[in-house]
Amino acid sequence: MQLAEFALGPLETNSFLLHDEQRAVCIDVGGDPDEVLAYLSRNKLTLTHILITHLHFDHVLGAASLQKATQATLYCNHRDLPMLERQNYGGMFPPITPFSYSDLDEGPLPLPVAECSVLATPGHSPGSLSYYFAEAGVLFDGDVLFRQSIGRTDFYEGDFRTLAESIRNKIYTLPDSTRVCPGHGPSTSVRAEKISNPFVPGL
Ligand SMILES: [Zn+2]
């Protein structure tokens, strides 16, 4: 299993490609997906799925464009849908181009590239999903848990207690060695955050 990372869009949101040298899945599309498309084409990969961690604009700005270019199936959670219309920010950021989606919730998600477990991890947004790939030992958690930080809870339906519960019950219960790849900034591990995260200590 190979992992490629791209920082896309106005907030340099991490987008990830997980692939087996034939097929790939993409996690979040924070802006113009040209780099992602170039990588897919250079490595002769077929993108089968686009997995969205949550529907804040900076995680889906390039979703419609990537979907149009690849015909990949896009998954997100319906609890975040009301946010799609609430993110104008006085025209500070480009509007979200509509995309088609399939509703996804907690549970197993067999993908061509690997088995994935979908975890419901609300608190930063009501429909935040995290994607756990047990065999690769990697978690894509959007804006739930960052290295030495956690997601904001002052947006639509954000809630600190809910976020802390998601982190403790869904993320800190994964194997300590799990690599955590968040939506912004560097990756970390379950072990490192349990020991030293200043906002949600795990021990
Ligand atoms: Zn967010």
**pLDDT tens per residue, range 111-169:** 999 999 999 999 999 999 999 999 999 999 999 999 999 999 998 899 999 999 999 99
Cα of 190 to ligand 1 centre, how many Å? 20
Cα of 13 to ligand 1 centre, how many Å? 10
Strand, coil or helix: 73: strand
pLDDT, tens only, 54-106: 999 999 999 999 999 999 999 999 999 998 877 766 677 778 899 999 999 99
Question: Is 3.60.15.10 the CATH number for 2-196?
Answer: yes
User: Diameter of the chain by CA atoms?
Assistant: 45
Amino acid letter, residue 189: S
Q: How far is 135 from 188, CA to CA, in rounded Å?
A: 17
Q: Tell me the β-bridge partners of 123.
A: none
Cα of 161 to ligand 1 centre, how many Å? 17
Residue 137 CB-density burial (10 A; 0-12 exposed, 13-18 middle, 19+ buried): middle
Cα of 72 to ligand 1 centre, how many Å? 23
Question: How does residue 189 score in pLDDT terms, banded at 50, 70 and 90?
Answer: very high
Cα of 54 to ligand 1 centre, how many Å? 7
pLDDT at residue 14, as a whole number: 98
CB of 148 within 8 A of CB of 198?
yes
